Chains A and B, each alone.
Chain A
Amino acid sequence: MTSTHSTRVDVVVIGAGLAGLTAARELVAAGRSVAVLEARDRVGGRLLNHDLGDGQVTEIGGQFVGPTQDHILALAKEVGVATYEAAVPCERVYVRDGKARRFAGHTPPDLLALPDMGIALARIGRAAGKVPPAAPWRAPNARDLDGMTYETWLRKAEVTGDAVDLINIFLNSAYGGEARDASALFSLWYVSTFGDEIHPGTMERGTGTSGGAQDSRFVGGSQLVATRLAEELDGRVHLSAPVRRISQDADGVTVVSDAGDWRADRVIVAVPPLLASRIVWDPLLPPQQDQLFQRLPFGTLMKCVAVYDTPFWRAEGLSGMGLLRGGSPIREMFDNSPPDGGPGVLMGFLGGKEWRKWAHRPAGERRGAVLRSFAQVVGERAYDTVDYVEQDWTAEQWTRGGPTSVAAPGVLTEYGEWLGRAFGRVHWAGSEFSPYWNGFMDGAVRSGRHTATELLHQS
């Protein structure tokens, strides 16, 4: 099976996102020869910087980090990428049915919604605390929880229905979807991953800004971490090399890519699970694993970014952060300006059903709808943009959605145990394989390290 033209290495890593690059770094440090094959003409996967000019960037992919995400924070430090506080210490805006109200702190000023939200958060906390992050299918009542959607589970204790809508604001960006898209077990597991081995996951940490998952950003943009890792790998990363076929035999693995063939003792596949299932496998993937990967699609998410001369809203005491309810295409938005405060950048998530409503509309109409959402939060100067950018992750050939995999009812309990199981000489990495911060940058780094360690112990 060995191709006469293949390049020989110890390990081929497929995918130059954070997980693949981290795994490659660990393997190189352990003395292995490594080739990283990346389908795109850039590294970073779901991390993507947008150039604002004058050396400034903003992110149009993953961007936030926070407490207990020690793996990504340590890695960034090692490669010389600093962090800064993401939140602007000013008031936020809560918009409901077109009526905007400013508020301070984390609690939206909606007395009618708060009891429902309080009940929901208490239930989520109790239930998520019983889900083992490394094996959610072993949770008490796992089959019951996996037999219903998260929305169904939430509505069991609702009074007004406001909790589902408020949680959907978070899931709009976190899932690129809504509570009805995911199983209750998956969603409670997702919450249980918002922590580490010492600190159990909590909804507050996952949704929070200061002190939560949206606490900090990277100076120079999150993609810089991946760029620095690739630089360290010093020629081992091969761009524009989409992998088409992976063949295993008794002696090794042959990886066929558009940039040539590689022969390795072992392979780490660090691409989204659904895309992994689309590679031609010889022999075929174990059918349970193949079915699982087909059932872990990414959500539908677009990041919409408006650029201004200055972050003008700050002078008016506004943080640029808004929560919007009642039909707004943007349901959650942030001040995404560079650390020195100029130019001003507002970023909103267009996800889930709002993505389905707006993604196919003419760009000018969608842009208008996004700016109208921004204007509800920061006023009419939102229309005076100097630039406007959209990143639709569903249109990325090598991602096909975002930001992470979301499992519908039945997936975790029926197939979950196959998630990270090595397939012969093939190992899996990616943020979707992590028991902590699943779907986040920290999960990707954890997974890359874990898989590299697993591989080193087996070879």
Chain B
Amino acid sequence: MTKFHVTERAVVDAPVERVWEVVSRTDRYAEWVASAIEVTDHHGIAALGGTYAERNRTLGPLRTDSVWTVVEIDPLRRRVDAGVGFAPLKEVTSIFEFEPVRSADGREVTRMTYKVEYVIGLGPLGLLLDRIQQPGMRANMRTSMANLNTLIRSETLSVRG
């Protein structure tokens, strides 16, 4: 069994309070998480021990149904969820971390770190499988954070709007 860690980072152009507010909404993941086609069940604002379910894209045309459990909440700083339904990936953990920073022009923005940890069995075959799937996973994580940035922007009234 080999444990894998994949980490991507991005700056979301919004204060951490706003980013945290959106990320906490378990009903909204299909709106910004690139791999989520649909949220099929949810418990609203993330709560410890709460679960939510998704229909996900995996590799190419493949689809899966996943269930996530919220296992750690450190308000405005860190969210950890454990997921099942991604075989042959096991012990899948999604970690969001947030840090308030200033943009070059002095605005409050958020540095977001998106980590996914998982285990693949299957020995050498598992390593090969990870080499195939990991680029897509990374791309999805980057796209997700870009989507989150766009979502927040789209819901922010423009100066004149």
A residues lining the B interface (CB < 8 Å): 327, 364-365, 367-369, 371-372, 375, 383-388
Q: A364-B155, A365-B155, A368-B155 are in contact. Are A385 and B161 (CB under 8 A)?
A: yes
B151 in contact (CB, < 8 A): yes
B155: chain A residues at CB < 8 Å are 364-365, 367-368
Size class of the B contact interface (CB-based, 8 Å): 10 to 19
Task: Pick 11 A–B contacts, CB within 8 A, sort by A.
Answer: A367-B154, A369-B31, A369-B154, A371-B154, A372-B150, A375-B150, A383-B153, A384-B161, A385-B158, A387-B161, A388-B161
| Contacting residue for A372 out of B28, B37, B151, B161, CB 8 A | B151
Which of chain B's residues 48-62 have a Cβ closer than 8 Å to chain A? none
User: What 0/1 pattern do residues 140 to 160 of B give for CB contact below 8 A with A?
Assistant: 000000000011011100101
Q: How far is the CB of A144 from chain B (nearest CB, A)?
A: 35
Taken together as a complex, chains A and B put the C-alpha atoms of A393 and B45 apart, in Å, by 31
Q: How far is the CB of B118 from chain A (nearest CB, A)?
A: 26
Counting from the closest, the 3 A-B pairs by CB-CB distance are: A368-B155, A368-B154, A385-B161
Q: How far is the CB of A308 from chain B (nearest CB, A)?
A: 10
Which of chain B's residues 108-161 have a Cβ closer than 8 Å to chain A? 150-151, 153-155, 158, 160-161
B154: chain A residues at CB < 8 Å are 367-369, 371-372, 375, 383
In the complex formed, the residue of A with least CB distance to B155 is A368
A367: chain B residues at CB < 8 Å are 154-155
* A contact patch SS: helix
Taken together as a complex, chains A and B put the C-alpha atoms of A383 and B28 apart, in Å, by 20
A385: chain B residues at CB < 8 Å are 158, 160-161
Taken together as a complex, chains A and B put the C-alpha atoms of A95 and B28 apart, in Å, by 22
Taken together as a complex, chains A and B put the C-alpha atoms of A63 and B28 apart, in Å, by 34
A384: chain B residues at CB < 8 Å are 158, 160-161
Most central of B31, B154, B155, B161 by chain A CB within 10 Å: B154
B150: chain A residues at CB < 8 Å are 372, 375
Taken together as a complex, chains A and B put the C-alpha atoms of A371 and B155 apart, in Å, by 9
User: What 0/1 pattern do residues 32 to 45 of B give for CB contact below 8 A with A?
Assistant: 00000100000000
B158: chain A residues at CB < 8 Å are 383-386
Most central of B31, B158, B161 by chain A CB within 10 Å: B161
Taken together as a complex, chains A and B put the C-alpha atoms of A256 and B23 apart, in Å, by 55
Q: How far is the CB of B55 from chain A (nearest CB, A)?
A: 11
In the complex formed, the residue of A with least CB distance to B27 is A361
Q: How far is the CB of A275 from chain B (nearest CB, A)?
A: 34
Taken together as a complex, chains A and B put the C-alpha atoms of A198 and B37 apart, in Å, by 48
A372: chain B residues at CB < 8 Å are 150-151, 154
In the complex formed, the residue of A with least CB distance to B154 is A368
Q: How far is the CB of B69 from chain A (nearest CB, A)?
A: 25
- Do residues A386 and B160 form an inter-chain contact, with CB atoms below 8 A? yes
Taken together as a complex, chains A and B put the C-alpha atoms of A372 and B28 apart, in Å, by 15
Taken together as a complex, chains A and B put the C-alpha atoms of A386 and B150 apart, in Å, by 19
B28: chain A residues at CB < 8 Å are 365
In the complex formed, the residue of A with least CB distance to B150 is A372
In the complex formed, the residue of A with least CB distance to B153 is A383
Q: How far is the CB of B144 from chain A (nearest CB, A)?
A: 13
Taken together as a complex, chains A and B put the C-alpha atoms of A383 and B153 apart, in Å, by 8
Taken together as a complex, chains A and B put the C-alpha atoms of A456 and B17 apart, in Å, by 68
In the complex formed, the residue of B with least CB distance to A372 is B154
A369: chain B residues at CB < 8 Å are 31, 154
Q: How far is the CB of A241 from chain B (nearest CB, A)?
A: 37
Taken together as a complex, chains A and B put the C-alpha atoms of A346 and B154 apart, in Å, by 15
In the complex formed, the residue of B with least CB distance to A373 is B154
Most central of A365, A386, A387 by chain B CB within 10 Å: A365
In the complex formed, the residue of A with least CB distance to B28 is A365
Q: How far is the CB of A330 from chain B (nearest CB, A)?
A: 12
Taken together as a complex, chains A and B put the C-alpha atoms of A375 and B155 apart, in Å, by 13
A383: chain B residues at CB < 8 Å are 153-154, 158
Taken together as a complex, chains A and B put the C-alpha atoms of A388 and B161 apart, in Å, by 7
Q: How far is the CB of A247 from chain B (nearest CB, A)?
A: 50
Taken together as a complex, chains A and B put the C-alpha atoms of A327 and B37 apart, in Å, by 9
A387: chain B residues at CB < 8 Å are 161
Taken together as a complex, chains A and B put the C-alpha atoms of A367 and B156 apart, in Å, by 10
Taken together as a complex, chains A and B put the C-alpha atoms of A371 and B153 apart, in Å, by 10
Taken together as a complex, chains A and B put the C-alpha atoms of A372 and B23 apart, in Å, by 18
Taken together as a complex, chains A and B put the C-alpha atoms of A372 and B155 apart, in Å, by 9
B151: chain A residues at CB < 8 Å are 368, 372
Q: How far is the CB of B78 from chain A (nearest CB, A)?
A: 25
Q: How far is the CB of B84 from chain A (nearest CB, A)?
A: 25
Taken together as a complex, chains A and B put the C-alpha atoms of A384 and B160 apart, in Å, by 8
In the complex formed, the residue of B with least CB distance to A366 is B155
A371: chain B residues at CB < 8 Å are 154
A386: chain B residues at CB < 8 Å are 158, 160-161
Q: How far is the CB of B19 from chain A (nearest CB, A)?
A: 14
In the complex formed, the residue of B with least CB distance to A384 is B158
Taken together as a complex, chains A and B put the C-alpha atoms of A6 and B155 apart, in Å, by 53
Q: How far is the CB of B5 from chain A (nearest CB, A)?
A: 28
Q: How far is the CB of B141 from chain A (nearest CB, A)?
A: 16
B31: chain A residues at CB < 8 Å are 369
A327: chain B residues at CB < 8 Å are 37
In the complex formed, the residue of B with least CB distance to A371 is B154
Q: How far is the CB of B143 from chain A (nearest CB, A)?
A: 9
